[in-house]
Structure 1
Amino acid sequence: YGSIGISPAATAAWRAHAVTQGSMPQVGRADAYLQAASRATRSGIEGVVPNVWPINVFEPCWSLYTLHLAGLFAHPALAEAVRVIVAQLDARLGVRGLGPALHFAADADDTAVALCVLRLAGRDPADDALRHFEIGELFVTFPGERNASVSTNIHALHALRLLGKPAAGTSAYVEANRNPHGLWDNEKWHVSWLYPTAHAVAALAQGKPQWRDERALAALLQAQRDDGGWGAGRASTFEETAYALFALHVMDGSEEPTGRRRIAQAVARALEWML
């Protein structure tokens, strides 16, 4: 790409130093990368760049995974777009897994979500690439990681369950990382507790039609704001409200009538706020 670690900031810093050392062929590649990164924002403002670019594995993986959480993975209107992305991911997944971008170091998080997407699309990928990151009963995001990521293990659990592989240790790790209210709020990759909570609910419920979690459901419903949305900060946000709705969508499938009525009321309030 001509970048330093797919980071526009690191690339710009390297370039600033390199030009003081005389002309170098790599400076031209760095310039081209920074210009392409700026164009990718579509802002039209010179110097505005993404914090990381490109992420041409992460974005399609998480987009399709999110369609699954929303119950839209198999929607006929999206079938062709899903087919194209799945074919690309299938071709790119190697024995070492995938990272956020092509030609970037593989990690357990991107690999796990890619496996989820491929299995949801009817493919039968091996779990070997994910096993490279397994240490004991949990998964590290990348070799040498000092503190494990809860969401990486949530995604690993989801992938293993979709593939029909044993995952008791990973499941226990995910369960052990709840807060006293039954939610997940200690994820280092995302500022909002709603992100890991939505994904954890989906992973824990996978393959278990009778799975229910009244404690998490009660806490999630209680966290709904007066305006109908959800948010970890001072105000509701569309993204976090979507995460809450994803979790409720999963929970609704195995709830008793009383619980389903409570979920329906919360969803109606959320939709009124969102729309």
Structure 2
Amino acid sequence: MSTRPGPAADRGGVAADAEKLVAGLLRDPWGRVAPSVYESARLITLAPWLTGHAERLRFVLAAQRADGGWGPPGGYALVPTLSAVESLLTVLRADEAGSPPAVRRTEVLASVERALVTLGGWLGDEGPNVPDTPAVDLIVPALVEAINVRLDRLPADSLTPQARTPLGLPRGMGGDRLVGVRRLIASGARVPAKLAHSFEVVGAAAGAPPGVGPGRLGTVGASPAATAAWIAVAGAARGARSHLRELALRQGGPVPCPIPITVFERAWVSSGLARVGIPLRARRELVESLTAALGPTGASTGPGLPTDADTTSVTLYALGHLGAPVAPESLWGYDTGGHFATWPGEDGASVTTNAHVLDAFGQHLATRPAAESRYAAVVHRLSGWLRDQQRADGAWHDRWHASPYYATACAVLALHEYGRGPALAQAVDRAVDWVLGSQRPDGSWGRWSGTAEETAYALHVLLGLGRSTRGRLAEAVRGGRAYLRRTAGRQPQTALWHGKELYAPAAIVESVTLAALHLAASRAELESSAAPF
């Protein structure tokens, strides 16, 4: 990240950093995602034969928090903590059977003891709410079931009575859906493509269902855990084994998820940079890869995942900015009549998916007035739907990101640029007021603490509307820009994106901060007569 002084130099430094970032995307088609406790722990259980087993075990043990849990604050810790505990109980069982230990048994027992006591409190009626992360209503019951089975088989004197108490499910969650999915797979019926991403929950006795298996790269569902589970039930799986081995070697043992994220990463990075006017020199390569990702039902995040409206919309929007527009016809398949589903049959609805769909339709309509009769009605409908999802405080929240700053930035920019209909200006004003009122004393923004990513989203809201920066707004921008210049690229990224557990897509986060710094420097140049930034 460039640290050169002065607004003009900042813009030049940001452009150079953006060029390096995009070049890195094209060199590494798998994408950059930090190691996952959940996925690494699943491999400890499902693939102890895989290279890096000891390193994964040490990674999981080292990641445990002082309170006995793993992962982010609140209910987001439940899935990684359950996964870690189940894997450590598996290690204890293997140790009893005579397998050579990778770490001291006493260390594993102490870790399990602390975690189980903590889980007992979380899974009671007073425990934290469980966030709406992908497949959580399958993953949590499956892991609770497995932990209770392993506890029952553990010698009675291994743990204290409090730690050995069988775990229950969180309030409001049952196991019926997991039972139904397992029955569906055991029947031999074809299952929804999205289930491949969490195939590890179905159990080894289910067999390999039609339609679930490794793709061209060897991954099942863009998930190491799902791939390992498929290997366990499918037998010969040379391509899948090779994929896991390469991934483990690349990461030094621990593994990320989701991976690969080729289209997701390239679409979000290129569209975000282009939206604020940062030049992209690798246009031809980006256009070719993004165009190739589009099919009759749109684009998917990466190999092994089904197509979805979110990735499709951002891919279309990126191609429009790259000078290679594609008509958004593939999006109609996700239209529910009210909003657009991320995929057909989605439970719930996503603000950011619909903001991105509005971007795609709005951009196409803005450049092709002759398409008014085809797309105007859906632009009006999406504008009204997004407006109606705004919270009372002026923010938006979403199911694909833990931070309201991401959802708010997506909604505000789409409504400002392409929205049609009544009361949109008032909605945007309320969002700006919420951002201004939630800034932290150090100039940052963030849900749990200040982060560069969330500060960048806040600056996109404040600077992406083309408004003059004076008074309170100018002060907020100065503080946010100073925070980004101190921290962006110099601190570990905070996991905020919804996967099976929270994760951070590193290149996307970097692009968001670069775009915010570019906006701030550009505005400083335009308003050089104002108070210095």
Query: Which of the residues 202, 212, 215 maps onto 2:413?
Result: 202
| Residue in 2 that maps onto 1:160 | 361
**Helix, strand or coil: the match of 1:144?**
coil
For residues 390 and 332 of structure 2, the distance between their equivalents in structure 1, rounded to whole angstroms, comes to 24
For residues 257 and 304 of structure 2, the distance between their equivalents in structure 1, rounded to whole angstroms, comes to 18
| Residue in 1 that maps onto 2:434 | 219
For residues 472 and 250 of structure 2, the distance between their equivalents in structure 1, rounded to whole angstroms, comes to 42
Matched, 1:6 2:216: no
| Residue in 2 that maps onto 1:247 | 461
- Point out the structure with max Rg over C-alpha: 2
Aligned residues: 254
Task: Indicate how the Cα distance of structure 1 residues 64 and 39 shifts in structure 2: closer, same or farther if over 3 A, else same.
Answer: farther
For residues 294 and 470 of structure 2, the distance between their equivalents in structure 1, rounded to whole angstroms, comes to 39
Query: Which amino acid in structure 2 is aligned with residue 124 of structure 1?
Result: P
Query: Which of the residues 62, 71, 79 maps onto 2:268?
Result: 62
Higher RCO, 1 vs 2 (CA within 8 Å, ≥6 residues apart): 2
**1:80-229 pair list within 5 angstroms:** 80-102=281-303, 104-164=305-365, 165-166=375-376, 167-185=379-397, 187-207=398-418, 213-229=428-444
Give yes or no for contact 1:37–1:53 (8 Å, CA) kept in 2.
no
Give yes or no for contact 1:37–1:54 (8 Å, CA) kept in 2.
no
TM-score (structure 2 length as normaliser): 0.45
Following superposition, the deviation at residue 217 of structure 1 comes to 1.0
- RMSD between aligned residues: 2.1
Task: Indicate how the Cα distance of structure 1 residues 57 and 39 shifts in structure 2: closer, same or farther if over 3 A, else same.
Answer: farther
Task: Indicate how the Cα distance of structure 1 residues 206 and 179 shifts in structure 2: closer, same or farther if over 3 A, else same.
Answer: same
Query: Which of the residues 8, 26, 29 maps onto 2:239?
Result: 29
Following superposition, the deviation at residue 90 of structure 1 comes to 1.8
| Residue in 1 that maps onto 2:255 | 49
**Helix, strand or coil: the match of 1:135?**
coil
**Helix, strand or coil: the match of 2:481?**
helix
Q: Deviations over 1:18-71 (max 9, x none)?
A: 5xxxxx331x22221112323454xxx22x1111111111110111122145x1
For residues 455 and 245 of structure 2, the distance between their equivalents in structure 1, rounded to whole angstroms, comes to 35
For residues 330 and 394 of structure 2, the distance between their equivalents in structure 1, rounded to whole angstroms, comes to 31
**Helix, strand or coil: the match of 2:246?**
helix
Following superposition, the deviation at residue 102 of structure 1 comes to 4.0
Following superposition, the deviation at residue 87 of structure 1 comes to 2.5
For residues 268 and 83 of structure 1, the distance between their equivalents in structure 2, rounded to whole angstroms, comes to 36
For residues 290 and 261 of structure 2, the distance between their equivalents in structure 1, rounded to whole angstroms, comes to 13
**Helix, strand or coil: the match of 1:241?**
helix
For residues 248 and 84 of structure 1, the distance between their equivalents in structure 2, rounded to whole angstroms, comes to 32
For residues 310 and 405 of structure 2, the distance between their equivalents in structure 1, rounded to whole angstroms, comes to 18
Give yes or no for contact 1:64–1:82 (8 Å, CA) kept in 2.
no
Give yes or no for contact 2:335–2:341 (8 Å, CA) kept in 1.
yes
Give yes or no for contact 2:223–2:258 (8 Å, CA) kept in 1.
yes
Following superposition, the deviation at residue 218 of structure 1 comes to 1.1
For residues 237 and 39 of structure 1, the distance between their equivalents in structure 2, rounded to whole angstroms, comes to 30
| Residue in 2 that maps onto 1:21 | none
Query: Which amino acid in structure 1 is aligned with residue 461 of structure 2?
Result: A
Give yes or no for contact 2:219–2:303 (8 Å, CA) kept in 1.
no
Task: After the TM superposition, list the runs of 4 or more consecutive aligned residues in structure 1 that deviate by more than 4 angstroms.
Answer: none
For residues 263 and 480 of structure 2, the distance between their equivalents in structure 1, rounded to whole angstroms, comes to 31
Give yes or no for contact 1:231–1:237 (8 Å, CA) kept in 2.
yes
